[in-house]
Amino acid sequence: MTKNLRRSVLLAVLLILAMVLAACPAQPGQVVEVEVTRIVEGESQTVVVTATPEPVMPVSFNAPRTDTYTDISIGDIDTMDPNLAYDTASGGLIMNVMETLIWFDHTDATSFVPVLATEVPSVENGGISADGLTYTFNIREGVTFHNGNDLTPSDVAYSFQRGLLQSDPNGPQWLLLEPILGYTSGDVTEGIAEGEYAGDPEALKANATAEELVAVCEKVQAAVSADDDAGTVTFNLAVPWGPFLATLTQTWGAAMDEQWAVENGAWDGSCDTWSDYYAPGAENDELSGIINGTGPYMLESWTPGEGYVLVANPNYWRADDDPMWEGGPAGAPAIQRIVRRIVTEWGTRFAILQAGDAEWVNVPPANRPQVDEFVGETCDWRTNECTPTDNPDGPLRKWGDQPSTSRTDVFLNFNVSTDENGNNPYIGSGQLDGNGIPADFFSDIHARLAFNYCFDYDTYIADALNGDGVRNNGPIILDMLGYNPDGEMYMFDLDKCAEEMALAWDGAVAENGFRLQAAYNTGNDTRQTIGAILQANFRSIDPKYQIELVGLPWPTMLAAFRVGQLPVVASGWVEDIHDPHNWVQPFTVGTYAGRQNLPDDLKAQFQELVNAGVAASDPAEREAIYFELQKLHHESAIQITGAQATGVRYEQRWVQGYYYNPALFDNYFYSFGLAQ
């Protein structure tokens, strides 16, 4: 016994030692000679040092893995089908593997460069008709997919037709359906039985007639058509649409290979069969787990829940003398392998970053102070200039102050829904007796103004956003067309808040106080903090002003939101396309406004401005309309407009070629390189 035991203990110790030793040396490929780049008066020269490195040596930042870029993220992709993908993780994969007709011009989110089209259509070059209803693209020749097939205009048209007819409830197609077919419900079957079967493929196939189904398909084919002889694809819009080019320039506008898709079981392009492929969900979608594009990278492998690997496309079509934009990437991609791994635990990601085992890891805002200690230089994405920090040898580079395209706001419900007995769990007694609020509490402008004055914007930015945020004065975000830099905004002012509360409901609120529940979905710290700030400020004015914070699990939140029960709710919006319409529409007439129960006359005023804004093509004209809309938004105080978070990127200092464009879902690796 004891002898055996001693032997096994010895063995265990040896095994552990071996593992530790295996951990100590660097990965394979270690060299004895150390190559050091020395900068001598602006001239660089490479010397080979064979002896042990000198004690004082400039820190060099060379990639330890010369051909691989590793990044560690937190979310897996949902699907690789560009028609179905509607999350940033999937978008990040698709945008590196597939290509769209046009793409963003470097850091500019509103101007475009041609990719699969030979030029960006405009009214001047005849690509856009004078009435703004017809868009024509000339498709580039000589482009091949990763499987070797040639790209044709029919491939492009097929891609869009397939997407529109697929119309999955969780997909992005509603963004295209509105301009192309004029459907606002987000479903291609809107025309059949008033959308009775929307989202339900079985019911659609069982109830809709063959004629109705064919008619829908033909309508789609008429709206998006290809002429292979002329080499063009034409879109016939239902309504003039200012942001149409921006809408196409996302992953749902990517071109797929029709022949390959059909071979893999996807829709064959026939109007008789499309309903079999309608609203499939990722689980039934033939193209969810495979991808074939024209882009600079090809998918090597995807392991669900663990990550994916991309490899450079050796036959990429772009020539060496044809940069994507001036000074942009050209020819074959510089990095051979892109490894994306998913690690949900922050501590683990941080350890990997510190070990230098990844070029980039996802850093949540709350953890930025921890990472800042390792930053050696900070760079400005607008000018590309970098300045060293107090710790110039720090291994990381920080790109700060990137205005994100998301914002969290507080929505005030003008008339919450109640059950048949007039009850609603979130409004207490339902009366102004100090123990609740009436269902239409926020129909009084003074109540809404008080909430706007009682929100401590600076504390919110400093604490909840860690200082990385900037206030907006209306639905439209900073630096976007239609943002009014001189627009008014409400300032944190407890006195004014108290004044407005005294005026609300003819003084009944001030007399009896109020009690309501502010909801947030649990796990979302930002939304909880917003509620806590409002709660503390109202309490400091008068203890009778009671806001209770309720953390709702996501399912409850979704259900309560659906029926419009929540009087005060903090929620975030992330834009789909970089255009003011994608902000004003949901905030004043769409998703949020609908759940806020805005009175009809106010909603009509907004609707008129929103429609005018999206139809106008002249930027100056659009700007004027949006200025007016935001003025109305400010005066009616329908929401508390929060702050636009600013993003920060930390990367290893050997990474080259990163640039920031607010409209991009993820990194565009084609422009990246690794310092050798």
Nearer to another protein, 155 or 187 (CB): 187
Residue with tokens 């190559």: 35
H or E element at residue 235:
strand 232-236
Q: Contacts with another protein in 229-288 (CB under 8 A)? A: 276, 279, 281-283
H/E element, 590: none
Q: How far is the CB of 241 from another protein (least distance, A)?
A: 17
Residues of span 440-459 touching another protein by CB under 8 A: 459
Q: How far is the CB of 46 from another protein (least distance, A)?
A: 27
Report how far residue 370's alpha carbon sits from residue 373's, in angstroms, rounded to the nearest whole number: 6
CB atoms within 10 A of CB 391: 14
Check residue 436 for interaction with another protein (CB under 8 A).
Answer: no
Least distance CB 443 / another protein (angstroms): 21
Binds another protein (CB under 8 A): choice among 350, 441, 451, 455:
350
- Shortest Å, Cβ 302 to another protein: 9
Q: For residues 334 and 313, what is the distance between their CA atoms, to the nearest angstrom?
A: 10
Length of the chain: 676
User: Using CB atoms within 10 A of its CB, is residue 220 exposed (0-12), middle (13-18) or buried (19+)?
Assistant: buried
Give whole-number Cα distances, 469 to 17, 30, 229, in Å. Answer: 49, 43, 51
Nearer Cβ to another protein (138/529): 529
401: left (phi over 0), alpha (psi -120 to 50) or beta: left
Tokens standing for 532?
Answer: 């806590």
Does 618 engage in binding with another protein (CB under 8 A)?
A: no
Exactly one of 187, 258, 468, 666 binds another protein (CB under 8 A); that residue is: 187
Enumerate residues 570-589 that contact another protein by CB under 8 A: 571-572, 576, 586
Residue 405 in the binding site for another protein (CB under 8 A): no
Subset of residues 96 to 115 that bind another protein, contact rule: CB under 8 A: none
Is the distance from CB of 86 to CB of 171 less than 8 angstroms?
yes
Number of H helices, E strands in the chain: 21, 23
- Taking CB under 8 A as the criterion, which residues in 503-542 touch another protein? 522-523, 525, 528-529, 532-533, 536, 539
Which one of the spans 17-25, 143-151, 313-321, 391-399 is the region binding another protein (CB under 8 A)? 17-25
CA distance 232 to 138: 5
Span 118-157, contacts to another protein by CB under 8 A? none
Do residues 676 and 65 touch, judged by C-beta distance below 8 A?
Answer: no
Burial (CB count <10 Å: 0-12, 13-18, 19+), residue 74 = middle
One residue of 367, 404, 415, 417 binding another protein per CB under 8 A: 367
Q: How far is it, in rounded angstroms, from Cα 344 to Cα 76?
A: 10
Q: Where are the alpha helices (DSSP H) in 542-668?
A: 554-562, 581-584, 591-596, 600-615, 619-636
Number of residues that bind another protein (CB under 8 A): 104
Q: Does 26 bind another protein (CB under 8 A)?
A: no
- Is the Cβ–Cβ distance between 366 and 525 less than 8 Å? yes
Map the footprint of another protein across residues 310-329, applying CB under 8 A.
none
The span of 54-62, 133-141, 428-436, 547-555 binding another protein (CB under 8 A) equals: 547-555
Our CB check for another protein shows the closer of 48 and 355 to be 355
Kindly state the smallest distance separating residue 428's Cβ from another protein, in Å: 14
How many C-beta atoms surround the C-beta of residue 660 within 10 A?
A: 19
- Residue 201 sits in the site that holds another protein (CB under 8 A): yes
Of 369, 388, 422, 507, the one binding another protein by CB under 8 A: 369
Nearer to another protein, 253 or 307 (CB): 307
Among 68, 404, 611, 617, binds another protein (CB under 8 A): 68
Q: How many CA atoms lie within 13 A of 529 on its CB side?
A: 17
Q: Does 389 bind another protein (CB under 8 A)?
A: no
C-beta of 329 vs 475, nearer to another protein: 475
- Is 339 strand, coil or helix? strand
Touching another protein, residues 72-101 (CB under 8 A): 76-79, 87
User: Which residue's CB is nearer to another protein, number 32 or number 355?
Assistant: 355
CA atoms of 81 and 76, how far apart (whole Å): 14
Here the tokens at position 73 are: 């993220």
- The reply on whether position 609 binds another protein by CB under 8 A is no
Q: Tell whether residue 18 is a contact of another protein (CB under 8 A).
A: yes
In the list 97, 464, 645, 648, the residue contacting another protein (rule: CB under 8 A) is 464
